[in-house]
């Protein structure tokens, strides 16, 4: 286990080799599961504000669900998350060429908003658990990411390298440099 500032980082984040390939997995992490993507309170507020600019990128089912029930829900652990449709699809889920993608990220890519997507989505398969005294970062192992593990092993890409951008987005550049120093110092 690594300790950086108030974060406890699982050894898996350093050791697991991982490389997302949407052509292979088809974005299954946005479709599978029993709850939507974890959200921070500030993200719910921001997404509500950005909805007029995200709306054109949503599919009809997602839009209807959001208009009827809002963007967020509470999962079985009591945490905020995106709403889901059909018991599994995120309300922001869209398909492009048979690949599950995110309407929020599509709006970002098109320059309509400056928010890329919820940080939990950007960090996946790292899950962040915020306890009052510390933050825990753990690797979430899931069958839908089997091809990412295979490709990561083939290309020798550690998870913390694959997720450099979202780790810096969430914890800052100084924090990420400390992570690298601790990993390379071992």
Q: In the prediction, which pLDDT does 25 show?
A: 79
Tell me what pLDDT residue 82 has: 92
Look at residue 186 and tell me whether its pLDDT is greater than 70. Answer: no
- CB–CB of 111/50 below 8 Å? no
pLDDT of 145: 84
Strand partners, 150: none
Structural contact between residues 27 and 99, judged by C-beta atoms closer than 8 angstroms? yes
| 42 touches 185 (CB < 8 A) | no
Average pLDDT, the chain: 91
- Of the CA atoms within 13 Å of residue 98, those in its CB half-sphere come to 4
From the number of C-beta atoms within 10 Å of its C-beta (0-12, 13-18, 19+), residue 84 rates as: buried
Cα–Cα distance between 13 and 126 in angstroms, integer? 8
Three-state secondary structure call for residue 92: coil
Taking alpha carbons only, the member of 13, 27, 12, 20 closest to residue 167 is: 13
Give the sign of the dihedral formed by CA 40, CA 44, CA 50, CA 54. Answer: positive
pLDDT digits (tens, 9 = 90+) for 92-117: 999 999 988 999 999 999 999 999 99
CB 101 within 8 A of CB 94: yes
Q: Mind listing the pLDDT tens digit for each residue in 20-75?
A: 988 887 887 777 767 788 999 999 999 999 999 999 999 999 999 999 999 999 98
Q: What is the pLDDT of residue 156?
A: 96
* Residue boundaries of the structural domains of the chain: 1-18+125-186, 32-113
């Amino acid at each position: 286990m690594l300790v950086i500032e108030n974060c406890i980082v699982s050894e898996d984040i350093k050791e697991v080799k991982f490389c997302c390939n949407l052509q292979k997995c088809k974005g299954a992490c946005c479709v599978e599961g029993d709850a939507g993507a974890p959200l921070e309170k500030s993200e719910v507020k921001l997404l509500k504000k950005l909805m007029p600019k995200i709306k054109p990128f949503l599919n009809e089912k997602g839009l209807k669900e959001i208009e009827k029930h809002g963007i967020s829900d509470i999962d079985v652990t009591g945490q905020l998350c995106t709403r889901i449709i059909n018991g599994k699809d995120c309300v922001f889920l869209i398909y492009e060429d048979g690949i599950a993608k995110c309407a929020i990220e599509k709006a970002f890519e098109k320059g309509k908003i400056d928010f890329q997507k919820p940080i939990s989505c950007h960090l996946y398969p790292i899950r962040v658990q915020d306890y009052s005294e510390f933050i825990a970062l753990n690797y979430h192992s899931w069958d839908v990411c089997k091809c990412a593990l295979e490709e990561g092993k083939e290309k020798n890409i550690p998870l913390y390298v694959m997720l450099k951008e979202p780790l810096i987005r969430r914890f800052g550049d100084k924090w990420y440099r400390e992570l690298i120093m601790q990993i390379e110092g071992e």
